[in-house]
């Protein structure tokens, strides 16, 4: 019995039905930008393992950081104890994030970080004597994770969590930012946003959004003016701004943090994914002394959150090494080169009748189709082309490791152009022309 057959007997994969006859590919090892399959094939990874493996796989510097830390300790509880990897990582994060974010709270995943950020904002409001402020305002088209409160601020109509709508806290939504990245906002683009603040500011615990790049909710890039307007409205109405940079942090958008495109500093910043270079699960929240101090001064005088594996020493050690590796590299030049190659390489898709739009920002390239892709038939076509590309919904996209070279990037783009070019709309889905459905 091979690996995939054994898998099918006992494993349930993300966003899939157990027992479904969907394509599955066993990975034997990974190195650089390549995945080596059990059947001997090798694939160029265009996903960076859901956007986190920015340095590529099996990197000697990150391997060494894990090995060195393992000799001292793999884990120790963070309640009442501390350790050098956590302190050093926190110091590094404070130094490289926007000024004023001086307090760090570690969590164990992106979704948990969003839960903690929302709890932090609610507890801040309670501590300052405004317990009625318990709802969150967010733009449609967002995605913030799969846990309950995180789901409540994902898009309630086009998002992935409509099944749970009746059990989720009811949040406040404004239309997704209309002007695209690089476009100016006009007054009409901000009218609904301003009206929402005017009507609901008194009940808002906070505003939560993905700065500049809306990720899994649609892979859209929006105007810096819109983000600056949100920051100004939050200041005017004394509402904390939570920036979810779990996907965009550490260079993916072309800036170290996407907030930098607009010159905006949030009150709470959530980081994850590329934080450890894809080696271990870890997330971090950074906030201001004002928010942390207000919570400390209120009842019960402490922040009511504490994951068991918070500040895991192995994860903190590799995260610190990953940040140093990034900042010591020509990452900006690499991301700029990827952006240029994606623009040129994906451009032919724009002429296809079933393609709605092609858009690129930083190391993110997106081909949006007019209909959803049929994963059962489309995914194997990419593997046949020697690349790992994992579409979702109507989106075929690339987020490669930053270390990818020109030739491999050209092969990735070429595979996308070829596979998308052979699709046709049948039965409300995009399938290969010769596929039987």
Spatial distance between the Cα atoms of 267 and 295, rounded to a whole number of angstroms: 14
Spatial distance between the Cα atoms of 245 and 425, rounded to a whole number of angstroms: 34
H-helix or E-strand spanning residue 198: helix 187-200
Of residues 2, 15, 21, 328, which has the active-site annotation? 15
273 counts as catalytic: yes
336 counts as catalytic: no
H-helix or E-strand spanning residue 396: strand 395-398
Collapse the DSSP code of 104 into the 3-class scheme (helix H, G, I; strand E, B; otherwise coil) and give the result: strand
How many CB atoms within 10 Å of residue 195? 11
Contacts of 194 (CB under 8 A, 6+ apart): 233
Rg (CA), the chain: 22
Characterize the bridge pairing of strands 34-37 and 42-45: antiparallel
Please give the distance of CA 352 from its chain centroid, rounded to a whole number. 28
Place of tokens 């991301």: 335
DSSP string, 47-83: SHHHHT-TT-BS-HHHHHHHHHHHTT-S----SS---
Cα–Cα distances in Å, from 149 out to 61, 133, 152, 173, 257?
37, 15, 5, 14, 24
Spatial distance between the Cα atoms of 231 and 266, rounded to a whole number of angstroms: 8
The CA-to-CA distance between both ends of the chain, in Å, stands at 28
Of residues 45, 146, 155, 273, which has the active-site annotation? 273
Of residues 45, 57, 124, 143, which has the active-site annotation? 143
Spatial distance between the Cα atoms of 218 and 227, rounded to a whole number of angstroms: 17
Spatial distance between the Cα atoms of 136 and 114, rounded to a whole number of angstroms: 12
DSSP 238: T
Spatial distance between the Cα atoms of 363 and 401, rounded to a whole number of angstroms: 8
15 counts as catalytic: yes
376 counts as catalytic: no
- Helices and strands per DSSP (H, E), number in the chain: 13, 18
Alpha helices in 33-183 (DSSP H): 48-51, 60-70, 84-96, 110-127, 148-152
Spatial distance between the Cα atoms of 237 and 229, rounded to a whole number of angstroms: 12
Which active-site residues does the annotation give?
15, 143, 244, 273
């Amino acid at each position: 019995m091979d690996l995939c057959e054994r898998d099918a007997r006992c494993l349930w994969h993300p966003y899939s039905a157990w027992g479904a006859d969907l394509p599955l590919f066993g990975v034997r090892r990974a190195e650089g930008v390549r995945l080596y399959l059990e059947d001997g094939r090798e694939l160029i990874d265009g996903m960076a393992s859901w956007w986190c493996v920015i340095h590529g796989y099996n990197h000697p510097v990150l391997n060494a950081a894990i090995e060195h830390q393992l000799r001292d300790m793999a884990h120790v509880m963070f309640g009442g104890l501390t350790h050098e990897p956590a302190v050093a990582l926190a110091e590094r994060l404070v130094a490289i994030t926007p000024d004023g974010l001086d307090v760090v709270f570690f969590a164990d995943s992106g979704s948990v970080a969003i839960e903690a950020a929302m709890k932090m904002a609610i507890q801040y409001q309670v501590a300052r004597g405004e317990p009625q402020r318990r709802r969150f305002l967010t733009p449609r088209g967002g995605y913030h994770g799969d846990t309950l409160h995180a789901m409540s601020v994902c898009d309630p109509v086009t998002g992935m969590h409509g099944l749970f709508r009746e059990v989720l806290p009811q949040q406040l939504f404004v239309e997704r930012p209309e002007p695209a990245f690089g476009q100016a906002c006009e007054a009409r683009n901000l009218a609904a946003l301003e009206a929402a603040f005017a009507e609901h500011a008194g009940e808002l615990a906070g505003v939560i959004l993905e700065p500049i790049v809306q990720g899994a909710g649609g892979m859209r890039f929006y105007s810096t003016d819109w983000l600056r307007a949100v920051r100004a409205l939050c200041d005017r109405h004394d509402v904390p701004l939570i920036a979810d940079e779990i996907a965009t942090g550490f260079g993916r958008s072309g800036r170290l943090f996407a907030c930098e495109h607009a010159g905006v500093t949030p009150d709470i910043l959530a980081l994850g994914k590329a934080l450890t270079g894809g080696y271990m699960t870890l997330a971090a929240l950074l906030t201001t002394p004002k928010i942390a101090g207000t919570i400390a001064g209120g009842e019960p005088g402490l922040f009511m959150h504490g994951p068991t594996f918070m500040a895991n020493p192995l994860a903190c050690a590799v995260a610190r090494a990953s940040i140093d590796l990034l900042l010591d590299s020509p990452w900006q030049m690499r991301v700029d080169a990827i952006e240029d190659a994606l623009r040129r390489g994906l451009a032919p898709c724009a002429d296809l009748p079933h393609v709605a739009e092609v858009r690129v920002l930083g190391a993110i390239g997106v081909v949006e189709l007019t209909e959803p892709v049929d994963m059962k038939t489309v995914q194997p076509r990419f593997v046949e082309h020697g690349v790992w590309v994992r579409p979702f919904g109507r989106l075929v996209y690339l987020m490669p490791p930053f270390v990818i070279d020109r030739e491999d990037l050209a092969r990735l783009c070429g595979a996308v152009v070829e596979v998308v070019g052979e699709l046709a709309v049948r039965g409300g889905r995009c399938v290969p022309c010769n596929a039987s459905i």
